[in-house]
């Protein structure tokens, strides 16, 4: 999840370049910024489409429950196989929607004009916490309004659809029909599910509106990368505490947190390579080369670790810690160099 990192102000050092190279860099930078914006909008549109499909699937589930007068036991007895298939479809659609967002989270969460959507969709805390609150209220179909309930993907819908919170489990049910009761085999609260699914669609559209209005600029590009890249250690920490390491059911059960890390850091890399590299390479090609190498090293570490996990390798807590520390060291080194480049180009890192 996204956590804001404060950065000390750095001294601004003006750098000079030949007029021709300056114009070439400006042109490449403009194209790069436009490319990042279009990349983000494209995935945002896919997010909206997937969220709408998810909303429809949850609506069908809710209709089945309503057709049985809200009696989950009766609905299961009458239409058990159909409900099991609906829940499986809901989980598949949720994953597809979540992955579309994770692909652009490293960009969205780092731009001041759009950062609020990361808190609402994916990373914000409920109002009971002291910081990083998701500033919205959730209206449910029955008229209930949940004030500041937390983020929609990992705070509400993932625990709901995978049965991670007992208070939202309406009926324990053998979804796969093997005669055993495994964690996550249940019918979930249709009222909460439909309200949250509608909210996902709505806020995804709101994000698209504000991202469309965003005017890409150098300060935002640098700010996005230096804000989000250092969060990699937090994500590895969440991976370490998840069932994929500890074996205990907790947060992030739908898929490994490493899948999210890959998407988020990929977004940071996209922003640097497309929009910032033209600026840095124009006056300091060696620094640009080292920053690019750092991003490649960071993504290679994440991708290799995730590939090993998918191949069946089991990581212990100490190894997960070591990998997280290694990723954080690389990220910190990359950010230090980007801050150096920011100073050389009179860039203002926005708080």
* 101 falls within a domain: yes
Say how far residue 65 (Cα) sits from the centre of its chain: 31
| Separation of alpha carbons 68 and 76, rounded Å | 9
Mean pLDDT of 308-315: 90
Nearest C-alpha neighbor of 257 from the set 234, 232, 230, 239: 239
Q: pTM here? A: 0.88
Handedness of CA 65, 67, 69, 73 (dihedral sign): negative
Do 249 and 297 fall within a single domain? yes
Query: Is 210 a member of any domain?
Result: yes
Find, among 144, 148, 150, the residue nearest to 194 by Cα: 144
- 210 and 249 belong to one structural domain: no
pLDDT of residue 255: 80
With respect to residue 53, please indicate whether it lies within any of the assigned structural domains.
yes
* Distance from C-alpha of 304 to C-alpha of 288, rounded to nearest angstrom: 24
Does 185 lie in the same domain as 274?
no
* 137-150 pLDDT, tens digit each: 999 999 999 999 99
Confidence band for 14, pLDDT divided at 50, 70 and 90: very low
Single out the residue in 181, 215, 249 at which a domain terminates: 215
Residue 12 has pLDDT above 80, yes or no: no
Of the given ranges (58-62, 88-92, 167-171, 347-351), which has the lowest mean pLDDT?
347-351
State residue 246's pLDDT score: 59
How many domains in the chain?
2
Q: Check whether 2 has a pLDDT greater than 80.
A: no
Domain that holds residue 159: 27-215
User: Do both 201 and 246 map to the same domain?
Assistant: no
pLDDT, tens digit (0-9, with 9 covering 90-100), for 35-53: 999 999 999 999 999 999 9
CB-CB neighbours of 94 under 10 Å: 24
pLDDT tens track for 185-240: 999 999 999 999 999 999 999 999 999 999 999 999 999 999 999 999 888 888 88
Over residues 237-250, the mean pLDDT reads 70
| Nearest partner of 275 among 103, 41, 37, 106, judged by Cα | 37
Q: Burial letters for 2-31: b for 16+ Cβ neighbours within 10 Å, e otherwise? A: beeeeeeeeeeeeeeeeeeeeeebeebbee
Distance CA 180, CA 176 (A): 9
Residues 209 and 225 occupy one common structural domain: no
Same domain? 32 vs 105: yes
Contact 294, 333 (CB under 8 A): yes
Residues 243, 246, 249, 251, Cα dihedral to 10°: -60
Domain final residue pick, 215, 247, 265 = 215
Tell whether 40 and 124 lie within a shared domain.
Answer: yes
Q: Are residues 248 and 182 in the same domain?
A: no
Domain assignment of residue 8, yes or no: no
**230 and 199 share one domain:** no
Strands (E), the chain: 137-139, 145-147, 169-172, 186-188
Shared-domain flag, residues 210 and 251:
no
Instruction: Tell whether 18 is covered by a domain.
Output: no
Rounded-to-10 torsion of CA 268, 270, 271, 276? 120
Mean pLDDT, residues 244-252: 62
Asked if residue 31 and residue 105 are part of one domain, the reply reads yes
* Integer angstrom CA distances of residue 156 from 72, 91, 189, 345: 20, 13, 11, 42
The answer as to whether 17 is a domain residue is no
Q: Please indicate, yes or no, whether residues 131 and 275 belong to a single structural domain of this protein.
A: no
C-alpha R_g of the chain: 22
pLDDT score at 234? 87
Helix (H, G, I), strand (E, B) or coil at 145: strand
């Amino acid at each position: 999840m996204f956590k804001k990192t404060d950065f000390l102000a750095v001294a601004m050092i003006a750098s000079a370049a030949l007029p021709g190279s300056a114009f070439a860099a400006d042109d490449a930078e403009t194209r790069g910024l436009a490319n990042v914006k279009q990349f983000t909008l494209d995935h945002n549109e896919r997010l909206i489409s997937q969220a709408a499909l998810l909303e429809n699937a949850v609506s069908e589930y809710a209709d089945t429950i309503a057709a049985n007068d809200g009696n989950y036991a009766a609905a299961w007895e009458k239409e058990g196989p159909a409900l099991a298939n609906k829940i499986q479809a809901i989980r598949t659609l949720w994953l597809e929607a979540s992955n579309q967002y994770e692909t652009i989270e490293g960009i969205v969460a780092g731009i001041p004009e759009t950062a609020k959507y990361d808190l609402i969709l994916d990373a914000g805390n409920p109002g009971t916490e002291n910081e990083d609150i998701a500033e919205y209220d959730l209206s449910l179909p029955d008229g209930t309004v949940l004030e500041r309930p937390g983020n929609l993907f990992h705070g509400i819908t993932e625990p709901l659809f995978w049965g991670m919170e007992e208070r939202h489990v309406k009926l324990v049910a053998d979804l796969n029909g093997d005669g055993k009761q495994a964690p996550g085999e249940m019918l979930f609260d249709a009222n909460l599910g439909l309200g949250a699914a509608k909210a996902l669609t709505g806020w995804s559209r709101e994000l698209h509106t504000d991202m469309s209005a965003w005017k890409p600029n150098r300060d935002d590009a640098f700010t996005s990368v230096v804000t989000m890249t250092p969060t990699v250690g937090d994500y590895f920490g969440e991976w370490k505490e998840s069932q994929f390491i500890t074996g205990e059911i907790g947060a992030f059960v739908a898929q490994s947190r490493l899948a999210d890390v890959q998407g988020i850091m990929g977004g940071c890399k996209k922003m640097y390579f497309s929009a910032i590299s033209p600026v840095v390479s124009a006056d300091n090609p060696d620094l640009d080369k080292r920053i690019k190498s750092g991003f490649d090293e960071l993504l290679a570490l994440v991708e290799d670790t995730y590939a090993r996990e998918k191949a069946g390798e089991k990581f212990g807590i100490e190894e997960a810690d070591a990998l997280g520390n290694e990723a954080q060291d690389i990220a910190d080194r990359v950010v230090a160099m980007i801050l150096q480049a920011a100073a050389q180009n009179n860039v203002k890192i926005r708080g």
